[in-house]
Structure 1
Amino acid sequence: MNNSHSDGPQKTEGASGNGKLGLEQTLGAIVIQMLREGRYITRHSICIAVAECIEKNTRPELEAHYADILRVLLSREAE
């Protein structure tokens, strides 16, 4: 498999500018990327992947976007 890493999925928002839709789309893209890399999908592994995206990004708006995703992941109670 190709183990090249980019800055992560780009921020996307719906036509209405709904930030939640953008968060869900970005999170989905992160999970798809992890699956393609053969990584296990757990809340912990997703949080690590999002943190890696924050660390690799130099654009403040993308760092904030990934930080929002991380906040959502960490704020949800375990199911």
Structure 2
Amino acid sequence: MTDTYNNASGSDTSTPALTLSSGEEMLGTVVMEMLQSGQEINRHSLCVKLAAKIDLSTDPALEAQISELIGLVLKKG
């Protein structure tokens, strides 16, 4: 998904609509995807969705961030 905007020189530039700069943004994006597709939101479904993102990722830093999110979702208290 991309948005088009004019850069300082006035020419069109395509860029990702959302740059995931934090775990909160990533988790929010995952929740929005699940809500839009009619999926139930619970700890199990969030972990499954996040694990699928790890499986598709080729970026070790992103995989580590997603793994940390899974840990936060599963953490009690």
TM-score, scaled to structure 2: 0.70
Q: In terms of Rg, which structure is larger?
A: 2
* 2:62 corresponds to 1:54: no
Amino acid in structure 1 at the alignment position of 2:66: Y
Amino acid in structure 1 at the alignment position of 2:20: T
* 2:49 corresponds to 1:41: no
* Greater fraction strand: 2
* Residues 5-44 of structure 1: pairs in structure 2 closer than 5 A: 12-13=20-21, 22-44=22-44
* Greater fraction helix: 1
Q: Deviations over 1:43-75 (max 9, x none)?
A: 110011001111111111111110010011111
Task: Measure, in 1, the Cα distance between the counterparts of 2:75 and 2:36.
Answer: 27
Equivalent position SS for 1:24: helix
Equivalent position SS for 1:67: helix
Return structure 1 stretches of 4+ with deviation > 2 angstroms. Answer: 10-13
Q: Any gaps of 5 or more consecutive residues in structure 2?
A: 1-17
Q: Any gaps of 5 or more consecutive residues in structure 1?
A: 1-9, 14-21
Q: CA deviation at 1:38?
A: 1.2
What is the alpha-carbon root mean square deviation over aligned residues? 1.6
Task: Measure, in 1, the Cα distance between the counterparts of 2:75 and 2:42.
Answer: 15
